[in-house]
Amino acid sequence: MNILKLNLGIQQFHNTGHLIPAVLLLCSLLAFSCAKQEDKNYNPDDNGRVKVRISRASFDDEINFKSGSTPFTDYPLSNQQTVSVDFNADYYLTATLTPEPSQKADKNPSTKADIIIDLLENNVKYKIVVFDPNGGYVTEKNYSHQNEDTEGDLLLDEYKEYTFIAYSINSSSTAPPDMTFTNPNVKTLATARVSVPGNADFMYFKKKLTLVANTTNYLEVAFKHLFSEITTKIDVSATGYTLTAFEATISPHKNSANISLASAAITRPVANVTAPVLFTPNPTNSVTTLINSPENTNTTLTVSKITVGEITETNLPAITNLKITPGVRYNLTLKITPNDKYLVHQGRPAAQIGGQIWALHNVGVAINQDPNQSPITSQLHGNYYQFGRLPAVAGPTSITENSNWNATAAPYTAWNTGTELAPVKTATDPCPAGFRVPTRMQMAQLVANITPTNRGSFAESNTHYNAAKVLTSKRNKNIWLVLPAQGIMNTNSTGNEPVGLQNRGSWANYYTSSASSAGFWRLTALETTFELTLLTDGFLQQSRPLRCIAE
pLDDT single digits (tens) 149-166: 999 999 999 899 999 999
Write the pLDDT tens digit of every residue in 195-205: 999 999 999 99
Fold observed for domain 71-99+228-337? Immunoglobulin-like (2.60.40)
Residue 27, pLDDT > 50, answer no
Fold observed for domain 49-61+108-225? Immunoglobulin-like (2.60.40)
Task: Using the CB atoms, write b or e for 457-477: b if 16+ within 10 Å.
Answer: ebeeeeebbbbbbbbbbebee
| DSSP E strands, 390-467 | 435-436, 450-455
If you average pLDDT over residues 146-150, what whole number do you get? 95
Q: What percent of the chain has pLDDT over 90?
A: 70
Q: How confident is residue 74, by pLDDT bands cut at 50, 70 and 90?
A: very low
Q: How confident is residue 118, by pLDDT bands cut at 50, 70 and 90?
A: low
Edge to edge, the sheet with strand 450-455 lists 450-455, 468-473, 480-484
DSSP string of 36-95, one letter each residue: HHH-TT--GGGTTEEEEEEEEEEEE-SS---TT--HHHH--GGG-EEEEEE-SSSEEEEE
Nearest to 104 by CA among 145, 61, 73: 61
- Contact (Cβ atoms closer than 8 angstroms) between residue 314 and residue 303: no
Residue 73, pLDDT > 50, answer no
pLDDT of residue 117: 59
pLDDT of residue 10: 35
Residue 47, pLDDT > 80, answer no
pLDDT of residue 421: 85
pTM: 0.69
Q: How far, in Å, CA of 526 to CA of 544, rounded?
A: 15
- Mean pLDDT over all residues of the chain? 86
Q: How far, in Å, CA of 548 to CA of 551, rounded?
A: 9
DSSP string of 130-178, one letter each residue: EE-TTSBEEEEEEEETT-HHHH--EE--TT-EEEEEEEE-S-SSSPPPP
Q: Which residue ranges make up each domain of the chain? A: 49-61+108-225, 71-99+228-337, 341-550
User: Containing H/E element for 25?
Assistant: helix 19-38
User: Containing H/E element for 30?
Assistant: helix 19-38
- Contact (Cβ atoms closer than 8 angstroms) between residue 329 and residue 60: no
Residue 539's region, left for phi above 0, alpha for psi from -120 to 50, else beta, is alpha
Residue 116, pLDDT > 90, answer no
Q: Look at 373-382, 400-409, 487-496 and tell me which has the smallest mean pLDDT.
A: 487-496
- Contact (Cβ atoms closer than 8 angstroms) between residue 432 and residue 348: yes
Q: How far, in Å, CA of 286 to CA of 243, rounded?
A: 11
Q: How confident is residue 89, by pLDDT bands cut at 50, 70 and 90?
A: confident
What is residue 213's three-state secondary structure? coil
- How distant, in Å, are the alpha carbons of 65, 82, 306, 316, 439 from that of 335? 28, 11, 12, 14, 18
Is 256 exposed, middle or buried, given 0-12, 13-18 or 19+ CB atoms closer than 10 A? middle
- Domain 49-61+108-225 and domain 71-99+228-337 have a common topology: yes
- Contact (Cβ atoms closer than 8 angstroms) between residue 251 and residue 302: yes
